[in-house]
Amino acid sequence: MKEFPQDVVTAPYGTWSSPLNAAEVAAGAAPIFDAAFRGDEIFYSTKIPAEKARTGLVRTSLSHPGDSEQIIPSGFNIRSAVHEYGGVSWTLDQSSEVIYFVNAADQRVWQIIPGRAPHALTPDTSGRIRYGDLHMSPWGLLCVREDCRSTRRERAIVLLTKHGTTNVLSTYSHFMAWPRLSPDGSTLAFIGWEHPNMPWDGTTLWLVDVRTPAIPAVAVLSGDGIERPRRSDPGLPSPTDPGISLLQAEFTSDSSLHVISDHDGHWSLYGLDIDPVAARPLATDPRHAPAPEQIGVDRLRPVIDTGEEIGGALWQLGTRWHLNDGDEVWAHSQAATATLVRRRLTDSTAAPAPESVATDPTVTATNPAATAWETIDTTGETFGTIELLDLGRTHLLLTAKSTRRTGVLYAVDRVTGLFTEIASERLDTHQGYYSRPRVDELGGVPVVIHSPHNPRFAAPDDELPPFVVSIHGGPTGQATPEMTARTSFFTSQGIGVLEVNYGGSTGFGRAWRDRLRGQWGIVDVEDTVAAVNGLVAAGLADPNRIAISGASSGGWTVLTALASTNVFACGTSYFGVTDLMRFVVDTHDFESHYIDGLVGPWPAAQDEYITRSPIRRTTDINVPVAVMQGDRDPIVPPSQAQEFVDTLELAGVEYIYRLYKGESHGFVRAETIINSLESEYGFYVDVFGIPRAHQHG
């Protein structure tokens, strides 16, 4: 229901009354993660705010999406902890009614038939053996297994039978993702990588003959030998060149795959023809096993290249940027905004779109020299993000966020391209108070601008708005133009938000991402300041009332910017990195060598680890700081936050510190979200000198 105020009140920025309070921001959030078809039925996972934000599983249908039911009992919470960030924690068996899922409390794989009690498939190890990236095959359940029973994490690709038998298929790589078996079951494909690489740096496509498990024939595709220019300070040890990032290999036949590669400067989708495994050399003695066959990138053939990114940072296992069924392939193309594209695989050249699609002006065909694809856009919306989930017989499942809608699960008709809403992440009655994001470029840096917006208020003509500069995490994340309750909490009260895609952000090609290699704490700060200066020069913000806020690696950039610039009036760090020396010691295996690429290899770059750490620079901070931290954070442990605020105390820096019990790396409890958000807003009100008592309502 739209709200039409009778009068628009003129009031200073930051004093506007808004129905989007912190409680509504916390209570209304129900993110949708994965989704899949089983015939006409649609299953999707979502958080349940009323049940301590546990992740449940919902069943609905394509024909009656309004009807839904919870499948997983309330005592279970679907979440994998592999690599700490998890991913793809459930899957369907299309040949039966069985659903497989990972339970957060014990990390076991469970199986359930709707209407019956769950049954454990794997042994109880008190969470020390974890499973993730679940994928159902005709031969059983493929998983990435992570063994945490010793100080060194051991990982494997395993196949679980419906009776609970475990077959280890490969242990070739320290990190693994996207296990897939060829249609004939002979070849295992997966993406692997080793320290110090992260999956957006350099990965390898492994192809393993699983018919000979003792001494398998192996072939690999990697980026060895590919050199890339990168920025580095003279005299600073340079991070090792990682090669190329390969992502999401999917079989299209027994001897061909689709795989994403960024060897040409941005992630695009390629095809790869492989030799039948029977033709690969086998050894009878493990001591004389042949070296893996090396496959060169010259064997990759373009499938879809939009000039943008088909791919992204793999923080959670199993993320999918393309789907195919042999007839056509769908892909998510990302730049400043997101686009859904399709290519018909059965045609050797660009096939004309069906009449119902071709007559729609929002569906366009594109014919590069090597590929033929079309853009699908029948909504008229500008999407900030798209996540591809499943490809059914008649429809595609995806989630999307746009400049006009919060997250929605859509079914997209494969013939007409029409979007049907299946479920929404939020059911708000105050959409008119949401921010109206727009993409721009300020100081040569891509940004998303959320200007203050409230249909009931306007500011005095002579006043410029205060702004919060939001720094995304990762630092390989990306700011995209999306309506969000959190951002709108600020903008609807008269405080603007500027999101910055500094060097290192994904979505803008490999060169932009690599600008941060060896330069963390330098390039990200320089780009943020350039964007802020552009915002002020455009007359969009009050230069004396600009705050900076960020979480995780974004918190690092916040604290570094406060210590090295005089642009910001204050800053808020949510579980931000403060001490690189402690981070590499205390953090988990997945990120334990991340700093090698962001700053430099240890111990050669020890001096940089010390001098760049915010905890060593608190005497350079002369504005107030807010620190928000969870006491169960395995990625940035609370000891970092405590030691940092102790040094702020010694340096005489004004600060507020909130330590939240039971919270990890990312707050999920409603009471925590409410308190942290209200604390952050109150912090800005005090620093900016905004009157506490709102007289306007």
Q: Which amino acid is at 197?
A: N
What is the average pLDDT across 504-516? Answer: 97
- Residue 602 confidence (pLDDT): 85
Task: Report residue 280's pLDDT band, with 50, 70 and 90 as the boundaries.
Answer: low
The C-alpha atoms of residue 202 and residue 81 are separated, in whole angstroms, by 23
- Residue 1 confidence (pLDDT): 40
Task: Report residue 196's pLDDT band, with 50, 70 and 90 as the boundaries.
Answer: very high
- Residue 330 confidence (pLDDT): 98
Asked if the model's pLDDT at residue 689 lies above 60, the reply is: yes
Q: Return the minimum-mean-pLDDT range out of 2-16, 359-373, 529-543.
A: 359-373
Asked if the model's pLDDT at residue 347 lies above 90, the reply is: no
Question: Tokens standing for 243?
Answer: 């090669």
What is the average pLDDT across 149-166? Answer: 92
Question: Is residue 157 assigned to a domain?
Answer: no
- Residue 316 confidence (pLDDT): 95
What is the average pLDDT across 73-87? Answer: 94
- Residue 225 confidence (pLDDT): 45
* CA-closest candidate to residue 481, choices 531, 434, 431: 434
What is the average pLDDT across 40-68? Answer: 90
The C-alpha atoms of residue 671 and residue 57 are separated, in whole angstroms, by 23
- Residue 28 confidence (pLDDT): 65
- Residue 368 confidence (pLDDT): 45
Which residues in 451-577 belong to E strands, given as ranges?
457-458, 467-471, 496-500, 546-551, 570-574
Question: Is residue 663 assigned to a domain?
Answer: yes
- Residue 289 confidence (pLDDT): 60
Question: Is residue 549 assigned to a domain?
Answer: yes
Task: Report residue 29's pLDDT band, with 50, 70 and 90 as the boundaries.
Answer: low
Task: Report residue 502's pLDDT band, with 50, 70 and 90 as the boundaries.
Answer: very high
DSSP designation for 501: -
Per the model's pLDDT, the better-predicted residue between 80 and 217 turns out to be 80
If 0-12 CB within 10 Å is exposed, 13-18 middle and 19+ buried, where does residue 225 land? exposed
- Range of the structural domain that residue 663 is part of: 440-588+615-688
SS3 label, residue 679? helix
Number of domains the chain contains: 1
CATH for 680:
3.40.50.1820
Question: Is residue 678 assigned to a domain?
Answer: yes
Residue appearing with tokens 């916040």: 558
Question: Tokens standing for 36?
Answer: 């899949």
Distance of alpha carbon 238 from the chain centroid? 27
Question: Is residue 364 assigned to a domain?
Answer: no
Report pLDDT digits (tens) over 606-656.
999 999 999 999 999 999 999 999 999 887 889 989 999 999 999 999 999
Say how many CA atoms lie within 13 Å of 473 toward its Cβ.
14
Question: Is residue 76 assigned to a domain?
Answer: no
- Residue 364 confidence (pLDDT): 46
Average model confidence (pLDDT) across the chain: 89
- Residue 258 confidence (pLDDT): 97
Report pLDDT digits (tens) over 375-427.
998 888 899 999 999 999 999 999 999 998 888 999 999 999 999 999 998 75
Asked if the model's pLDDT at residue 231 lies above 80, the reply is: no
Q: Which amino acid is at 574?
A: Y
Per the model's pLDDT, the better-predicted residue between 666 and 384 turns out to be 384
Q: Encode 417-436: b = buried (16+ Cβ within 10 Å), e = exposed.
A: bbbeebbebbebebebbbbe
Asked if the model's pLDDT at residue 181 lies above 50, the reply is: yes
Distance of alpha carbon 336 from the chain centroid? 15
Largest CA distance in the chain: 85
Question: Is residue 652 assigned to a domain?
Answer: yes
Q: Return the minimum-mean-pLDDT range out of 239-243, 414-418, 461-465, 648-652.
A: 239-243
The C-alpha atoms of residue 182 and residue 53 are separated, in whole angstroms, by 37
Asked if the model's pLDDT at residue 219 lies above 80, the reply is: yes
The C-alpha atoms of residue 157 and residue 3 are separated, in whole angstroms, by 54
Question: Is residue 672 assigned to a domain?
Answer: yes
Residue appearing with tokens 């995806």: 398
Task: Report residue 285's pLDDT band, with 50, 70 and 90 as the boundaries.
Answer: low
pTM: 0.90
State how far the alpha carbon of 515 is from the alpha carbons of 149, 479, 522, 613, in Å.
Answer: 38, 17, 10, 19
- Residue 66 confidence (pLDDT): 83
The C-alpha atoms of residue 111 and residue 142 are separated, in whole angstroms, by 14
Task: Report residue 350's pLDDT band, with 50, 70 and 90 as the boundaries.
Answer: very low
The C-alpha atoms of residue 516 and residue 522 are separated, in whole angstroms, by 8
Q: Which amino acid is at 667?
A: F
- Residue 215 confidence (pLDDT): 66
Asked if the model's pLDDT at residue 370 lies above 50, the reply is: no
Distance of alpha carbon 258 from the chain centroid? 22
- Residue 51 confidence (pLDDT): 83
Q: Encode 541-576: b = buried (16+ Cβ within 10 Å), e = exposed.
A: bbeebbbbbbbbbbbbbbbbbbbbeebbbbbbbbbb
